[in-house]
Amino acid sequence: YRDTQCKEKPFGCLECHGEFARWDNFLRHIRDHMVEKPFVCEGCGKKFNRSDNLKRHQSI
């Protein structure tokens, strides 16, 4: 059991509705939305900035 599981998550992403307890994690998440992601999974539509991440996703 971790203390972070009980914390409020006041920082919310307007794009994907992700919620974060810490400002630094929220900022890192927002930066991920800003990166170009040209590799798209044909199965679910999820986008990736690197082809190896797409391949790993598709192998699951």
Given this model, what pLDDT does residue 1 score? 45
Category of 45 on φ-ψ map: left (φ > 0), alpha (ψ -120 to 50) or beta: left
Distance of CA 55 to the CA centre of its chain: 17
Q: Give residue-wise pLDDT tens across range 20-49.
A: 999 999 999 998 889 999 999 999 999 999
Percent above pLDDT 70 for the chain: 90
Query: pLDDT band at residue 2, thresholds of 50, 70 and 90?
Result: low
Given this model, what pLDDT does residue 32 score? 87
Q: Where are the domains of the chain?
A: 8-34
Task: State in words which class domain 8-34 has.
Answer: alpha beta
